[in-house]
Structure 1
C-alpha cells in the first residue's frame, strides 16, 4: 500500500471511528478487509492514541472556530495531519500539508483544502 492510499484509508477509518462506536481494530478490519499496512496502522493508532493532545494543539491554531463546529472531514484531516506533524518527524512538513490538501480534495471540496491548509500553515516547520 502506498502512503497516499494509507492516508486515504486512515481518513476513512478515523471518520468511521468518529461516527460509530467501533473499536480501532473493528474499524481497521472494516476499512481494509484484509491484511493491513504498517504505515496505515501507525497513522490510525497514533492519531487515536494521541487525540487529546492533537485536539488541544488544534484548538490553539483554530481562529473563530471550535473543533466541534468543524465539518467532520476537515476535523478528521486536521487530526491526521497534526499527528504526522507532531509525532512523525520523518515526513517533511510540506509533504504533510500537501497530502492534507489532497485528502480534502478527495473527501471534501476546494474550500476544505484551503481551510485545512490555512490551519496547518500555522505550524512551524521543523
Structure 2
C-alpha cells in the first residue's frame, strides 16, 4: 500500500468562527434579513440541545456585528479593488460573504495581522467559492491591505510629528523661563552693586562734611581773636 501525503490541515477555532460568519452572512443575504438577528436566533436555539443547532462563538458574533455595522464602507473598499471584469453585485453571494469577513478583519480588527487575514480569506475562498475566486480574492485583499498599511503609517507619522512639536514647544517654553530667571538674577545683582556704591559715596560726603566742620572749628580761635575787644 502506497503512503499518501497527509494534506489534512487542522483548522483552529478562529477559522471555524470565520466559516460560521460566512454561513450566517450568506444566509442573511439570501433571506434578505439582518445577519445579527440570525446570529442571535441561532444563539437562542443552541441553548436547547433538542434543536441540534451549533452554538455561535463570540468571535463569529463579533465578525457578523462588525460586518453589519460597517457594510457600506466594507463594500466600497471591495468594489474599489475589483477589476473591470467584476462588479460587487455580480459576484456570487458566497464570494461577497467571504470578502466581507476578510475585509472587516483587515480594516477593523487590529488583533489579526494582515497576512493572517489575507491567508484566511484565501482559504475561505478555496473552501466556499469557485476555482477562480481565490485569485481575485487575493488581489482584492492585497490592495486593501496596502491601503490600510499606508493609512496606519500616515497616522503614525502624524502622531510622531505632533509629539515632536509638543516636545519642541515644551523645550522652547523651558528656555524662555530659564532666560527670564537669568534676567531677574542679573537685574538683582546690578541693583545690589549700585546700592553699595551709593553707600560708599554717602560715607565720603559725610567725611568731607566732617572735615569742613572741623576746619571751621579750627578757625574758631581766629574768629575769637577777631571778636570784640575789651
TM-score when scaled to structure 1? Answer: 0.89
What residue in structure 1 maps to residue 63 of structure 2?
A: 43
Report the count of equivalent residues.
126
Q: How many angstroms does 1:72 deviate by?
A: 1.5
Q: How many angstroms does 1:110 deviate by?
A: 3.1
Q: How many angstroms does 1:30 deviate by?
A: 4.1
Q: Distance in 2 between matches of 1:59 and 1:25?
A: 23
Pairs within 5 Å for 1:1-126: 2-28=13-39, 29-30=41-42, 33-64=53-84, 65-123=86-144, 124=146, 126=149
Q: How many angstroms does 1:81 deviate by?
A: 0.8
Structure 1, gaps ≥5 residues long: none
Q: Distance in 1 between matches of 2:130 and 2:87?
A: 20
Q: Distance in 1 between matches of 2:131 and 2:56?
A: 30
Structure 2, gaps ≥5 residues long: 1-11, 47-52, 150-230
Alpha carbons of structure 1 residues 26 and 72: separation in structure 2 relative to 1, 3 Å? same
Alpha carbons of structure 1 residues 86 and 62: separation in structure 2 relative to 1, 3 Å? same
Say which one has the larger Rg. 2
- Which structure has greater helix proportion? 2
Q: Distance in 2 between matches of 1:20 and 1:41?
A: 18
Deviates more, 1:52-61 or 1:104-113: 104-113
Q: How many angstroms does 1:34 deviate by?
A: 4.8
RMSD between aligned residues: 2.0
Q: How many angstroms does 1:113 deviate by?
A: 1.0
TM-score when scaled to structure 2? Answer: 0.51
Q: Distance in 2 between matches of 1:54 and 1:25?
A: 16
